Chains A and B, each alone.
Chain A
Amino acid sequence: MKTLVWVEHDGKAVKDATLAVVTAASKLGEVHLLVAGSGVDAVAKEAAQIAGVGKVHVADNAAFDHNLPENVAPLVAELMASHDAFLAPATTTGKNIAPRVAALLDVMQISEILSVEGPKTFTRPIYAGNAIATVESSDAKLVLTVRGTAFDKAATSGGSGTVEAVGAGSDAGVSSFVGAEIAKQDRPELTSAKIIVSGGRALGSSEKYQEVIVPLADKLNAALGASRAAVDAGYVPNDYQVGQTGKIVAPQVYFAIGISGAIQHLAGMKDSKTVVAINKDEDAPIFQVADFGLVADLFSAVPDLTAKI
């Protein structure tokens, strides 16, 4: 089987999310990559180094900048004439593009695969991870999005892919990019961080989040997260949200501070290797999934922890 993997990049470098997708694709067959955008030579060269990569298709055209799906999907659909499976990371970019490709190919997409069980059989979460479905496609071609935390990352070196330019592509003329407000963070991204410190509604305010959660995260070089309750209460922006409707994370260590552990939050973090919970309510559901639970007032325990760790 020949697979085509969407390379997520920022115009300068390959994003980590791509690497897990390469691993998933390699379980299906030959791995080809697609790098789309203008001035992406450096990205293509970097992508060719990823272990196990065969060909790197490069579509150099400004129409593909900002990943506009109206322009990108027809390009992918065209390349799929000579590939059997299209795989994209289950990031907001991948989720935006892949279904558009699938519909152009008249294929039913399989979203957020967790494992490859056979050439057309996969597992995927449904009901926010409260159930796992094993599904089998009957379509001639596959379109898949891949949950990054479910697959190991392919090595970023050792590969010797060949770079090949493909079709000029065109601007469909129905959409354009206006601007972005990307939160600039001098800390790891939530979805790729080794340690995450998350705060919940028990913090009571945005100030307390800054005062209690941020110093611990700073000390551990951790990403910052939050429960939906904390986001809804306005303590932090929405992109901090871990959970069913936010980000799905699986760090080495996850600190849940003042988070009760609603189903919707657990759905986003229960694959973390080690969970540390600090909550003053000893009956909080979070303790049922925590490896280390500390029943304590977070306003004194967390600064103490920050000082001693």
Chain B
Amino acid sequence: MKILVPVKRVLDYNVKPRVKSDGTGVDLANVKMSMNPFDEIGIEEAIRLKEKGVATEVVAISVGPAKAQETLRTALAMGADRAILVQTDDDVEPLALAKIFKAIADAETPGLVILGKQAIDGDNNQTGQMLAALTGWAQGTFASAVNVEGDHVNVTREVDGGLETVKLKLPAIVTTDLRLNEPRYASLPNIMKAKSKPLDTKTPADYGVDTAPRVKTVKVSEPPVRSAGVKVADVDELVAKLKAMGVHS
């Protein structure tokens, strides 16, 4: 079984995003970019399935600028077998991404597509579900456990209030949540090896997908700031403040 794993190059999660002063977006010039953390979990899960003998090949895909090659090389260094870069400088929306992945899935016929539940830049949380709609496949979103058994996969999902498990017919779509696994670091020999793994470059047009945005960003602004209040001297003063607000047992 082949597994496709889309990965996105995003602002590193440790970097505090700065809104551009002209309100057109978040400043990405000269800041550290990394693989979306949820996608890293997706790559890790696919590699583990390969190590268990469930999967035979792991293909990493990225839709983005030429520099997204670096993100794909990271995926290859972690253990993906080959990569596809769908190169574009446009900001591609989840719906168009799902259409590109659908076209790739048609060509590659994977058993599973594992995506991050959301990218930490746009926070849309849509692409996996949209790909599932376009393929007509079942979806196991926000996964904390993935078990392939014969012609189906059991996915344990992190839902509000706890966990639920669904049984999905293969091929299926999985989106990852944080606790699915802890991604490995690529070793130096593997980073070197990754340089010679195959990486194909395509364009959205190769898949017949129009990436023109459907949603226009009118402006991007700073969120309202919370200002610091007062420091209380001790527990008694805190209790008094809270009681004054009506907070007590």
Interface membership of A236, Cβ < 8 A = no
A178 contacts B228, C-beta separation under 8 Å: no
Chain B residues numbered 198-249 whose CB sits less than 8 Å from any CB in chain A: 213-223, 226, 228-232, 234-236, 238-239, 241-243, 245, 247-249
| Chain B window 148-186, contacts with chain A (Cβ cutoff 8 Å), 1 for yes, 0 for no | 000000100111111111111100100001110000000
Find out whether the CB atom of B159 lies under 8 angstroms from the CB atom of A93.
yes
Residue from B13, B120, B134, B178 in contact with A238 in the complex, judged by beta carbons closer than 8 Å: B178
- Tell me if A127 and B130 are in contact (CB < 8 A): no
Whole-angstrom distance between the Cβ of B143 and the nearest chain A Cβ? 12
Q: At the interface with chain B, which of A21-29, A38-46, A55-63, A301-309?
A: A301-309
Q: Indicate if the CB atoms of A121 and B160 lie closer than 8 Å.
A: no
B230 touches A108 (CB 8 A): no
Q: Which of B128, B129, B169 has the most CB of A within 10 A?
A: B129
Interface flag for B133 (CB, 8 Å) = yes
Question: With contacts A174-B138, A175-B166, A178-B165 known, is A129 near B249, CB below 8 A?
Answer: no
A49 within 8 A of B: no
Which one of B51-59, B72-80, B90-98, B187-195 is at the interface? B90-98
Contact with B along A251-274 (1 / 0, CB 8 A): 011000000000110000010001
A128: chain B residues within 8 A (beta carbon): 120, 123
Interface string of A180-197 (1 = CB under 8 A from B): 111100000101000100
B213 / chain A contacts, CB cutoff of 8 Å: 108
Say yes or no: is B125 at the interface (Cβ < 8 Å to chain A).
yes
Contacts of B245 in A (CB 8 A): 253, 274
User: Nearest-CB distance from B235 to chain A (Å)?
Assistant: 5
| A289 interface contact, C-beta 8 A | yes
Task: Give the contacting residue for B164; candidates A106, A131, A180, A275; CB below 8 A.
Answer: A180
Residues of A within 8 A of B19 (CB): 130-131
Let me know if B215 and A138 touch, CB within 8 A: yes
A220 on the B face (CB < 8 A): yes
Flag if B126 contacts A109 (CB, 8 Å): yes
What per-residue 1/0 map shows which CB atoms of A129-159 lie under 8 Å from chain B? 1111111111100000000000000000000
Contacts of B228 in A (CB 8 A): 287-290, 293
Contact A289 B217 (CB under 8 A): no
Q: Please, which residues of chain A bring their CB within 8 A of the CB of B167?
A: 175-178
Q: Which residues of A contact B122 (CB under 8 A)?
A: 126
Bound form: Cα–Cα A181–B242 in Å: 36
Nearest residue (CB) in B for A90 is B125
Measured in the bound complex, the distance between the Cα atoms of B170 and A174 in whole Å is 8
> In the complex, which residue of chain B has the Cβ closest to the Cβ of A303?
B235
**In contact, B132 and A69 (Cβ under 8 angstroms):** yes
**A122 to B132 alpha-carbon distance, docked (Å):** 26
Contact of B95 among A106, A172, A177, A305 (CB under 8 A): A106
Q: Quick one: closest B residue to A70, CB to CB?
A: B138
Contact of B125 among A95, A182, A292, A296 (CB under 8 A): A95
Contact call B138/A135, Cβ cutoff below 8 A: no
**Distance of A127 Cα from B120 Cα, bound (Å):** 6
Using Cβ atoms and an 8 Å threshold, which residues of chain A touch B120? 127-128, 244
Closest residue to A295 on the B side, CB-wise? B231
List residues of chain A with CB within 8 A of the CB of B160.
91-93, 189, 191, 239, 247
Candidates A136, A180, A293; contact of B229 at CB < 8 Å: A293
Known: A138-B215, A181-B163, A238-B179. A127 touches B123 (CB 8 A): yes
Q: Are A290 and B238 in contact (CB under 8 A)?
A: no
**B214 contacts A139, CB within 8 Å?**
yes
What residues on A are CB-neighbors of B62 within 8 Å?
none
Considering the chains assembled together, what is the distance between the CA atoms of A223 and B215 in angstroms? 37
Most buried by A among B157, B238, B249: B238
Contacts of A275 in B (CB 8 A): 226, 229
Query: B216 — nearest CB in chain A belongs to which residue?
Result: A136
Contact A180 B16 (CB under 8 A): no
The complex places the Cα of A135 from the Cα of B161 at a distance, in Å, of 31
Q: Is A169 an interface residue (CB 8 A)?
A: no
Expressed in whole angstroms, the Cα–Cα distance for A154 and B218 within the complex equals 29
Is B216 touching A131 in the complex (CB atoms < 8 A)?
Answer: no
B216 near A102 with CB under 8 A, answer no
Interface assignment of A294: CB less than 8 Å from any CB of chain B: yes
- List 22 contacting pairs A-B, 8 Å CB cutoff, sorted by A: A92-B159, A98-B129, A99-B126, A99-B133, A102-B130, A102-B133, A111-B123, A127-B120, A129-B223, A137-B214, A177-B166, A178-B166, A220-B247, A239-B161, A270-B226, A276-B238, A289-B226, A290-B229, A291-B229, A292-B238, A305-B239, A309-B239
Task: Sort A-B residue pairs by CB-CB distance and give the 6 closest, nearest first.
Answer: A291-B229, A99-B129, A103-B133, A108-B214, A103-B130, A99-B126
Residues of B within 8 A of A (CB): 11, 13, 16-17, 19, 26, 93-95, 98, 120-134, 136-139, 141-142, 144, 154, 157-169, 172, 177-179, 213-223, 226, 228-232, 234-236, 238-239, 241-243, 245, 247-249
Instruction: Using A135-B217, A220-B247, A301-B235 as known contacts, list a sample of 11 further A-B pairs with CB atoms less than 8 Å apart, ordered by residue number in A.
Output: A66-B164, A69-B129, A96-B139, A99-B133, A102-B126, A128-B123, A172-B136, A182-B162, A238-B144, A238-B158, A289-B228
